[in-house]
Chains A and B, each alone.
Chain A
């Protein structure tokens, strides 16, 4: 039945969307006004562009290709701890980048665990800096994401098909060709595109593991032009290039971007009758052990090293932790104010074209927006005074596309199921939100808020542009400690940051679930 007059007001949704557009376009215009095209693109800029695309391509390639056997093994094996492992696969997405980098450095760094083992065996040490370090870190973040998305696809395959395959006694190769390959063909392009886009705007990884003429991303080049040379013209020019590259890729990814789910139902493996052979079982086991080790060891390293470093942290770390908490909370509030009305607007429309506005956040790089707003604020007041609010705002914008993906499907269902009832009761405006939409969406809102809080907590991006000596967030403080080679203190800060980021995620998520269950 065609619905008329569903009572969600679209006015606030349109206003929120307009605000997002203004915030991003305002930054873009400011950047364009300062971009000195006359200065031209020098060879180091070309290098940055080439490196940005190349590392994103490699990261997407390795993440996706390695995720296929891992997701396959997880989809068809039952073992103790499988549920925990699948949950852990969600962790890197909300893990502060700088924390993960410290974990990776502890394992793969110059005096890390791997090189200690290699030295024992009399082999030459490996270095984590440069292209392979950047790609390694990106794979660490995105392999679990890709695995989860692939696993979702795998588990959406109706059980009847595997039953049929068992009855027909299909060989492993035939099962792959008939059942699994079509699934992969459907999901892999979207997953790879998503990771490619995410890695294009990577900053913190390149800042810590890259650098130099051969391993600088555009995002890092913007930062360097800005911070070291205070060359606003060049920063603006690079920002424009970044916008074209990342924006173009994001527009393409928009059509293939997979749905981000709460991960419900992934805890139970499907009953399978194929792949009982010893070789396959052994291979799956090895893949799972390797995947789990790659995921768990760096995290363990952070915890072990951090516990030892807690006593050596300067008091500035606690002040920075306070600032970070403040930034994260403001981000969550801003997100709620922006995302809820936008989701309401999108969900009451049949086609999802409006969602593209939310995706603007994904295409515009944080440093581009930061540069733009620095240019706008600079003549009026000291940008450092606004470092924390601007960081909170940009972080909320960055989380917006993911949060819309989380909330809109559920809101659509709510409109479908309860729109007529609400309308026939004359519910609209605040009562409609208070009594229908917010309670129905509580788990999704909690999850989205937790995601935003954790991402904002761990973000090392815009703050690096704006901050001065006093106004720092915890990730930046930690980066400064690492830069000063106070690795033990940095490890302590990493542990604090890890606990705060995971804690804020857990708190929001649990609140949403509890509210829904009450």
Chain B
């Protein structure tokens, strides 16, 4: 269980409060208007945005001030998920050892992950030589080897076409299921919510609402969410 207890984030005039508990193994979609603080919520979970107030717990252990790299989660950003000067293999390897000292078993794991996402034949290329979809797959291979209990997606597939994006979301879905990880993903698209999410976190008006079951919420949205969905 990932618990946000009286969390408040303040950035200049911007302010967002959150109070919720997220269950490992479930998939959460974060939706809401632009600028409401969806990315900020993920940043706060990951440790990139300092909390003005409140505490963060993972399985009863407080992680409010733990470094981003030591938290039980891995995040894919909107862009810059791969180092352009390193090969695909090296990029994935960093997920196992940040100092890149990979033993034989580690290298086998990297190769296995690349195989799993269908990039076995691109292992030695630099990200710049890959297509957008292949770059996403490489980043997902790293998520796979990191094998953390939580995967956070801050719209990493926004630049892909609809078919490719669905393909990636399906792949993500499979990967988190294999690792029994929880998923928190920011999205703008109601169809993504229907496709993948168990529950929805609506962010609006300075507050991230506690998660509600996706199907019920999307069929009978409260006024604020209805205004957003249009």
Contacts and interface: CB of A to CB of B under 8 A. Distances in A.
Contact of B49 (A1, A7, A435, A439): A1
A259 B43 CA distance: 33
Interface in A405-447: 417-418, 420-421, 423-428, 430-431, 434-436, 439-440
A367 to B, nearest CB: 42
B46 A424 contact: yes
Nearest to B11: A2
Contact of A1 (B48, B83, B100): B48
Contacts of A425: 69, 94-95, 98
Given A2-B49, A421-B80, A439 B85 contact: yes
Interface string B9-49: 00100000000000000000000000000011001001111
A440 B86 CA distance: 10
A350 to B, nearest CB: 14
A5 B64 CA distance: 13
Contacts of B49: 1-2, 4
A39 interface: no
Interface in B75-89: 75, 77, 80-81, 83, 85-86
Contact of B80 (A417, A431, A516): A417
Contacts of A440: 85
A423 to B, nearest CB: 4
A516 B83 CA distance: 13
A435 B94 contact: yes
Nearest to B12: A2
B130 to A, nearest CB: 17
A427 B94 contact: yes
Contacts of B80: 417-418, 420-421
A439 B69 CA distance: 21
Contacts of A3: 48
Given A1-B48, A417-B80, A423 B69 contact: yes
Contacts of A516: 85
Q: Which of B39, B50, B81, B98 has the most CB of A within 10 A?
A: B98
A4 B11 CA distance: 13
B135 to A, nearest CB: 13
Contacts, number: 74
Nearest to A439: B85
Give the contact-size bracket for chain A: 20 to 34
Nearest to B42: A1
B70 interface: yes
B60 interface: no
Contact of A426 (B11, B48, B98): B98
Contacts of A427: 69, 94, 98-99
Contacts of B67: 5, 7, 423, 426
B68 interface: yes
B136 interface: no
B74 interface: yes
B128 to A, nearest CB: 11
B184 to A, nearest CB: 14
B83 A421 contact: yes
Given A423-B69, A435-B83, A5 B100 contact: no
A1 B47 CA distance: 11
Contacts of A4: 47-50
B81 A421 contact: yes
A439 B95 CA distance: 18
Interface string A5-35: 1010000000000000000000000000000
Interface in A352-404: none
B98 A431 contact: yes
Contacts of B81: 421
A424 B85 contact: no
B100 A424 contact: no
A3 B11 CA distance: 11
A426 B70 contact: yes
A445 B94 CA distance: 24
A342 B108 CA distance: 39
B85 A420 contact: no
A238 to B, nearest CB: 49
Contacts of A434: 100
Contacts of A421: 77, 80-81, 83
Contacts of A428: 69, 98
A192 B100 CA distance: 48
Contact of B48 (A423, A431, A436, A439): A423
Most chain B CB within a 10 A radius of its CB, from A2, A431, A439? A2
Interface in A150-209: none
Contacts of B74: 424
Contacts of B50: 2, 4
B120 to A, nearest CB: 22
**Residue from B40, B50, B81, B85 whose CB has the most chain A CB atoms within 10 Å:** B85
Nearest to B79: A417
A315 B47 CA distance: 64
Contacts of A7: 67, 69
Nearest to A1: B43
B8 to A, nearest CB: 14
Nearest to A431: B99
Contacts of B39: 1
Nearest to A417: B80
Contacts of B48: 1-5, 420, 423-424
Interface in B145-159: none
Nearest to B97: A431
B51 to A, nearest CB: 10
A5 B86 contact: no
Given A1-B39, A421-B80, A425-B98, 20 more contacts: A1-B43, A1-B48, A1-B49, A2-B49, A2-B50, A4-B48, A4-B49, A418-B83, A423-B48, A424-B68, A426-B70, A427-B94, A427-B99, A431-B98, A434-B100, A436-B83, A439-B83, A439-B85, A439-B86, A516-B85
11 contacts: A4-B48, A5-B47, A420-B48, A420-B80, A421-B77, A421-B81, A421-B83, A423-B48, A431-B99, A439-B85, A439-B86
